[in-house]
């Protein structure tokens, strides 16, 4: 018996890694515990009788550090989570059994990246640029794309290029960060996507000097519509290759009751 999926993979695919590297000092939201890596045991600390040795690691980090996915437990509005659940009552034993990241099934879906700079004929979105519904429509039209219910839609602003420049440049606290508006979040919700992501630290538009004080797109997607959010994506290789549609693969860690998970998403396309 042949396996159609295995046959397709064997015929040749190109895989784009959309995840960021994890390292000490990496750009991340100051609201979450920093990424820390150490080796509690190094080679030679303990040597077996046959001369063998092993090293191992200790990681300390928040679940919303680096490329990660937000579970529905991450944001509440007026004391309520998605579906009207009381945010206080939903937390049991230090976790969220019904809204935690463990409830997100492995995602293998059609993915679409909307390249906003190319759609509006600029190199990179300026600091604090608000991506409007007109911009989203322009990207769909220019790319000849379609968005179906259940798709994963990723928004490229070009801001991801700043990740390598360090935290101050990427976080954009003083300058603001480009991203979709509240109306843009509703645009995505109207298309019934399963998840939405971006190449920025907080997915949505951040005005200069505001930090993460108000995040209306998070409310619209997570609380009102149950749509997962993926942040800090690396979309530059996709953009350079001119790839707009792909098979999107993402598997959160099975962290029982957690509000999010680090991830390493993949975009898979036939190898031309």
Residue 199 has pLDDT above 80, yes or no: yes
What local confidence, expressed as pLDDT, does residue 3 receive?
Answer: 78
Q: What is the pTM of this model?
A: 0.95
What's the pLDDT score for residue 135?
97
Q: What is the dihedral of CA 140, 226, 211, 202, to 10 degrees?
A: -50
Closest among 137, 237, 146, 235 to 193, alpha carbons compared: 146
Report pLDDT digits (tens) over 24-54: 999 999 889 999 999 999 999 999 999 999 9
pLDDT above 80 (res 211): no
Average pLDDT score, the chain = 95
pLDDT beyond 90 at 214: no
How do strand 179-180 and strand 228-231 relate by DSSP bridges? unpaired
Q: Rounded to an integer, what distance in angstroms lies between the CA atom of residue 261 and that of residue 92?
A: 19
pLDDT of 59 over the 80 cut: yes
15-20+64-270, what's its fold? Glucose Oxidase; domain 1 (3.50.30)
Task: Report d(CA 185, CA 231) in Å as an integer.
Answer: 14
Query: What percentage of residues in the chain have a pLDDT greater than 70?
Result: 98
Q: Which two tokens stand for residue 64?
A: 């919303």
Domain boundaries, the chain: 15-20+64-270
Question: Residue 104 to residues 30, 72, 75, 130, 229: CA-CA distances in angstroms?
Answer: 25, 9, 15, 29, 12
Sign, CA dihedral 55-60-63-67, equals negative
The pLDDT of residue 192 is above 60: yes
Burial of 193 (0-12, 13-18, 19+ CB in 10 A): buried
């Amino acid at each position: 018996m042949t396996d159609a999926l295995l046959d397709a993979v064997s015929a040749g695919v190109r895989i784009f890694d959309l995840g960021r590297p994890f390292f000490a000092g990496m750009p991340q939201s100051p609201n979450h515990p920093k990424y820390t890596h150490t080796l509690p045991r190094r080679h030679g600390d303990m040597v077996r009788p046959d001369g063998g040795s092993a090293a191992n690691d200790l990681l300390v980090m928040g679940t919303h550090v680096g490329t990660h996915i937000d579970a529905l437990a991450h944001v509440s509005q007026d004391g309520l989570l998605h579906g009207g659940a009381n945010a206080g009552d939903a937390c049991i034993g230090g976790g969220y059994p019904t809204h935690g990241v463990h409830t997100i099934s492995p995602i293998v879906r059609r993915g679409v990246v909307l390249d906003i700079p190319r759609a509006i004929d600029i190199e990179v979105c300026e600091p604090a640029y608000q991506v409007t519904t007109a911009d989203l429509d322009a990207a769909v039209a220019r790319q000849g794309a379609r968005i179906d219910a259940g798709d994963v839609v990723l928004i490229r602003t070009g801001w991801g290029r700043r990740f390598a420049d360090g935290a101050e440049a990427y976080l954009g606290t003083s300058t603001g960060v480009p991203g979709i508006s509240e109306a843009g979040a509703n645009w995505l919700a109207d298309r019934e996507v399963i998840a939405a992501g971006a190449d920025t630290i907080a997915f949505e538009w951040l005005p200069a000097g505001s930090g993460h004080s108000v995040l209306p797109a998070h409310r619209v997607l997570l609380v009102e519509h149950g749509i997962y959010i993926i942040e800090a994506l690396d979309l530059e290789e996709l953009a350079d290759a001119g790839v707009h549609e792909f098979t999107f693969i993402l598997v959160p860690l099975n962290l029982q009751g957690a509000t999010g998970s680090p991830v390493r998403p993949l975009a898979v396309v036939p190898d031309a």
